[in-house]
Chain A
């Protein structure tokens, strides 16, 4: 059973456009939601993360939007650049209980930004 569902599987955006990736979860024990970025031949790296006590978190061109009632969260990349072309993973975890220390990843979105 997949704990975190991610869509779309692939995304093509023109330079300067907005990239949007969506994720959904079921387990209400999750209380921390990170996004990871992975370039070809490299391991994933933490990009940005959000707690459910806020509805939005912004770091530069990257924004997480969080909807606690719908159990959904999304990554928005504003002014997308060719250097943003990578695979993006959403994930969920908790600071306590049975999920302590475990990250549950979505299946990933391969983003291509055309110049």
Chain B
């Protein structure tokens, strides 16, 4: 049982480069989320998808785009990476039966030079 799988685990980009972070879940969850974690800032929501076909902005959406490809997959794209986007990115999914229980992936450590 893989749960939530994120790729890649580590990535180094130069300013202005683009990349897509991939996320897939095998738990048949409807809702999926992208968070970023920065020291002393906690977990901040970037985008979320309440169900297949819908996406909504979170607290810090600027500089990011998302695609809910199907029920399993939710990708996060950085079109033109900036040093301020250096962070650890977590994807999560939620079982609709329990509002508070998110299942997180193991994260992507992204550095933008």
Chain A interface (Cβ within 8 Å of chain B)? 6, 9, 32-34, 36, 41-46, 49, 89, 91, 93-95, 100-103, 105-108
- In addition to A42-B106, A43-B104, 14 A-B residue pairs with Cβ atoms within 8 Å of each other are A9-B40, A34-B100, A36-B102, A41-B106, A43-B4, A46-B102, A89-B43, A93-B100, A101-B48, A101-B50, A102-B45, A103-B45, A103-B102, A107-B40
CA distance A75 to B107 in the complex (A): 25
Q: Counting CB contacts under 8 A, is B14 at the interface?
A: no
In the complex, the answer to whether B90 meets A93 with C-beta atoms within 8 Å is no
Chain B interface (Cβ within 8 Å of chain A)? 4, 31, 40-45, 48, 50, 58, 90, 92, 94, 99-102, 104-107
Given A34-B100, A101-B50, the answer on whether A43 and B40 have CB atoms closer than 8 Å is: no
In the complex, the answer to whether B92 meets A43 with C-beta atoms within 8 Å is yes
Residues in chain B near residue A45, CB distance under 8 A: 104
In the complex, the answer to whether A106 meets B107 with C-beta atoms within 8 Å is no
Residues in chain A near residue B107, CB distance under 8 A: 41-43
Q: List 23 A-B contacts (CB under 8 A).
A: A6-B42, A9-B40, A41-B106, A41-B107, A42-B106, A43-B92, A43-B106, A43-B107, A44-B43, A44-B90, A44-B104, A46-B102, A91-B100, A100-B50, A101-B31, A101-B48, A102-B45, A102-B48, A105-B42, A105-B43, A107-B41, A108-B40, A108-B43
Which chain B residue shows the least CB distance to A107?
A: B42
CB proximity of A62 to chain B, nearest CB, Å: 15
CA distance A102 to B4 in the complex (A): 18
Which chain A residue shows the least CB distance to B9?
A: A41
Which chain B residue shows the least CB distance to A92?
A: B100
